[in-house]
Structure 1
Amino acid sequence: MLEINSKRFRETFERYSKIGGTANDGLHRLALSTTDGEVRDEFVSDLEALGLSVRIDEVGNIFGRLPGADQAAAPILIGSHLDSQPKGGRYDGQLGVLTALETIRAFDDSDIETQRPVEIVNWTNEEGSRFKPALMGSGAWVGIHDVDKILSTTDEQGTTVEDALKEIGYDGTTPCDPNEIPHAYLELHVEQGPVLEEHGREIGIVEGILGMAWLEATIYGEADHAGPSPMHTRSDSLVAAADVVTGVRRLSTHLADDVVTTVGELIVEPNSVNVIPSKTSFTIDLRSYDNEVVNRGIDQIEAELSSACAREGTKYDLEELWKIPHTEFSQQICTRLDTIANELGRSHERMIGGAGHDASYLADLTETGLVFVPSVDGKTHNEQEFTEWDDAVAGAEVFANTVLQLAESEETSQ
């Protein structure tokens, strides 16, 4: 079986973690920021040191290609993302990219020439924290998002994706589309939940991912003085919003057992201590494995908005920012992962993932697999995010040996 160089793997992880690293051992590396540009430079340098041919597409996705014995064969695509949440963790995304990099290095250590080419990728803006939507680079690459629309998307300061790419030198010229359909795609990611740790498992073999919708609600009231305005005359946007936020929280108790709901952003205007709020905007994240449950949830959220606004004399808008159905991954790849985990003596289980990943979009294009490694206490998207290094190595071993098998396979991708 192919072996991972744990020391080199760890050293690379620590080196990358310094780029955008925070004082509390977290990571602040927003998509297309200066620090994202720095880590991209590091990544490209590491790819070139391995002799990989590097290309950058229109939205900044970075690909490195390892030749195979059969250059006409469809490649195996592996990777994840290097951008992070604001003051997020060091493992989310980055561990997947560096696992893919270590896989290529392990091939090099053993002088392995695979039958198929193997390509490693860093997807642009997976997180969606600076530019919306999330999964931006992979979504554009598979044709879910229009490239021109993505390039014109702005952050809160009005900077477009196109300008941000130019500022860090990653406005590539390669068309953002698969010039050849990969034979398979494989990604490793931290679980971002507590299940593997609670069950004492080293590896999660992901069979699917929850469907999800991102919504933005805006409630319009009327600004007035907090003192002279009687309560019965007020049109308070924040009071209506508070009712809706509570209602969104309660959806998870009666829609379905797997439903999770989150209000993550809230903006109040004019945001003054003695002024009745005239406008309140907030986001809603709704998830379930049942796509119809997600649709029913959206309907119920609109009903909550209508009722709350009627009570408070306010009006509302509801915008769907992003919506993706649940994902089902390749059973063929899940079986390969099962077999290799058994051969390596790694404890594992099949599971459903709660978070979106670039693999979600790739599953519509080719045979796709996703490997999880445990997250301590299930913490993620904050500086406390942590994965034991032995678990990271276990995941990398299962990942690398699965990639090797896929790269030697002759079957046609389905």
Structure 2
Amino acid sequence: MKNEPAVNPDRLLQSVSDFAAIGATPAGGVNRQALSAEDRAARRLLAERALARGFTVFQDEAANLFIRHEGRDAAQPPLLIGSHLDSQPTGGRFDGALGTLSAFEVLEALADADVEIERAIEVVAFTNEEGSRFSPGCMGSMAFSGAANVADWQAARSTDDVLFADELRATLDALPEAEIRPAGHPISAFVELHIEQGPVLERENVPIGIVTGVQGTKWLEVAFSGEAAHAGTTPLEFRKDPMAAAAAAIARIQDGIMPSDPAARLTVGRISAEPGSVNVIPGRVSFTVDMRHPDAEALAAIERRVHEECLAAAKRWGCEAAIALRVDMPPGRFATAVTAAIAESCAALGIASRPMVSGAFHDALFVNRVAPSAMIFVPCRNGVSHNEAEFVSDEHIVTGARVLLGVALQLAS
């Protein structure tokens, strides 16, 4: 190496601030949902900065954006680093963007030092990790890894009733200087830096989490069908009340699953009643159940328990229950070679770290199917994320980027 590459803290912090201004909300957060005008503006800014530094910029048919710093041997598959730029409707400044901008800072640090690396390093900004505007989430990494096909989503409509195919085309067309390639290409490994989105690192005063895996996730949609009737004239014995069935089932699974297993996560995130009138017993009530666990057998047992409680509640209240599995992602274990590289980088820098399992799924979970992958977590204040109050200190931002640079140098050598 001609010079020792180093993160430029002022440049990185300014970059985080610059991108937070794109889609900024009055409460200090970000609304930069996937394939929106704000998302395209962020992609444009990143591409312009990359081209100004002489990096190669291209995108694939899923609108994943890539920035390439060449290595000595172009025949070797590149090291991939990055995350995403899209946000929740009332998201924070750091979720996704911090990982993407820290990865770009790694390329800038290498260019500043005129470092020659063995293999190329590519920064990626994956499309629609959040899944807030278009469903499902992690579209870009799913397409990249072959877990899904972009063609499958063409007819999907957004929460603001816009066709996915139209927004995808508009996003691709907004960067005419970036060549469009097929989704998926060989890589040597993938490293994603991300905020923890939980309180563990901050509570233990540990600056880096080495993510060894991601817990499994199942999403169910439960619907109870009963009989709509007048609220004031229908006695109990004549009621077929799906709301009562739903309330009973929810109470049973909330009381019985997480309290008995500290590793389990169960959330009823959405509930709706039809016809939704204050003086009508509903004819139909539906709700979602998000279940997570790092152990596949335990997750399957939770799913069975939810089924049993829902069927029992339906029988008790004279209703029919329909239960559909909408998402089924098994637990993922990251590559030990990559987690070891993260640990070595922390040790070399004298930075404390701890292994941990991610409670949320990320793009790395899908990329791990096609290349050795792992994640670096940095603390966020009070564990708050998917919230405009999301906050990461300057110190932790810079520390995470320094660890990522060390890992990149190891894995690209």
> Which band: TM-score by shorter chain?
over 0.9
8 Å Cα contact 1:340/1:398 also seen in 2: yes
Task: Give distance in 2, aligned partners of 1:160 and 1:110.
Answer: 45
What's the TM-score, normalizing by structure 1?
0.93
Q: Which residue of 2 aligns with 1:236?
A: 241
- 8 Å contact 2:85–2:100 — kept in the other structure? yes
Bigger shift: residues 299-308 or 240-249:
240-249
* Cα distance change on mapping 1:319 and 1:105 into 2, 3 Å: same
2:382 aligned with 1:377: yes
2:318 to 288, 306, 313: 313
What is the CA deviation profile of residues 168-203 of structure 1, one whole-angstrom value per residue up to 9, with x for unaligned ones? 44598422222xx21110110001111111111111
Q: Which amino acid aligns with 2:62?
A: V
1:270-281 alignment, distance < 5 Å: 270-281=275-286
**Which secondary structure does the structure 2 equivalent of 1:22 belong to?**
coil
Choose which of 125, 128, 150 in structure 2 pairs with 1:125. Answer: 128
- Residue of structure 2 aligned with 1:343, choices 317, 339, 348: 348
Cα distance in structure 2, aligned partners of 1:239 and 1:81 = 41
Counterpart code for 1:7 = D
**In the alignment, does 2:81 pair up with 1:96?**
no
Would you say the 8 A contact 1:269–1:278 is kept in 2? yes
> Match for residue 219 of structure 1?
224
- Which residue is equivalent to 1:53? 56
In the alignment, what sits opposite 2:42? 39
Cα offsets for 1:263-301 (capped at 9, x unmatched):
112222222222222222221111111111111111111
- CA deviation map 1:352-374 (0-9, x unaligned): 11111111111121111210000
| Alignment match, 2:182 | 175
Partner residue in 2 for 1:14? 17
Q: Aligned with 1:390: secondary structure?
A: helix
Preserved contact between residue 50 and residue 67 of structure 2 (Cα < 8 Å): yes
CA displacement at 1:158 relative to structure 2: 4.3
Please, which moves more after superposition, 119-128 or 233-242?
A: 233-242
Superposed counterparts of 1:157-306, under 5 Å: 157-169=160-172, 173-178=180-185, 181-253=186-258, 256-306=261-311
Preserved CA contact (<8 Å) 1:25 1:383: yes
Q: Equivalent of 2:65, from 43, 50, 62?
A: 62
1:153 is the counterpart of 2:156: yes
Q: Distance in 2 between matches of 1:220 and 1:191?
A: 40
Structure 2 distance, partners of 1:182, 1:313, is 55
Shift of 1:255: 5.9
Give 1:309 shift.
Answer: 1.1
- The structure 1 residue matched to 2:108, chosen from 100, 105, 110, is 105
Q: Distance in 1 between matches of 2:26 and 2:206?
A: 31
Q: Which moved more, 1:267-276 or 1:373-382?
A: 267-276
Of 74, 77, 96, 2:77 maps to 74
Summarize the Cα distance change of 1:296–1:237 in structure 2 as closer, same or farther, 3 Å threshold. Answer: same
Counterpart residue type for residue 66 of structure 1: H
Cα distance in 2 for partners of 1:392, 1:243 equals 45
Secondary structure of the 1:100 match is helix
**Does the aligned pair in 2 maintain the 1:251–1:261 contact within 8 Å?**
no
Superposed CA offset, 1:50-91 (max 9, x none):
222222222211112221111101100011011112202111
SS at match of 1:54: strand
Residue aligned with 1:152, SS: coil
The alpha carbon displacement at 1:319 in A equals: 1.7
Preserved contact between residue 241 and residue 280 of structure 1 (Cα < 8 Å): yes
Q: What TM-score results when the alignment is normalised by the length of structure 2?
A: 0.94
CA distance in 2, matches of 1:251, 1:38: 46
Of residues 254-263 and 197-206 in structure 1, the stretch that sits farther from structure 2 once superposed is 254-263
Partner Cα separation in structure 1 for residue 326 and residue 188 of structure 2: 31
- 1:349 maps to amino acid: R
Q: Do the aligned partners of 1:26 and 1:383 also contact (CA within 8 Å) in 2? A: yes
Deviates more, 1:85-94 or 1:254-263: 254-263
Q: Which amino acid aligns with 2:182?
A: P
In the comparison of the two structures, how many residue pairs are matched?
406
Q: Does 1:86 align with 2:89?
A: yes
How much has 1:141 moved relative to structure 2? 1.3
Q: How far does the alpha carbon of each residue in 1:291-314 deviate from its partner, in whole angstroms, 9 at most, with x for none? A: 111111111111111111112222
Measure, in 2, the Cα distance between the counterparts of 1:87 and 1:239: 32
Quickly say closer, same or farther: Cα 1:33–1:270, change in 2 above 3 A.
farther
Equivalence for 1:412 = none
| Contact kept? 2:5, 2:115, Cα under 8 Å | no
Describe the shift of the 1:235–1:47 C-alpha distance in structure 2 as closer, same or farther (beyond 3 A): farther
What amino acid sits opposite 1:93 in the alignment?
G
Cα gap change, 1:238/1:49 in structure 2, threshold over 3 Å: closer, same or farther? farther
Q: 1:43 and 1:376 mapped to 2: Cα distance? A: 27
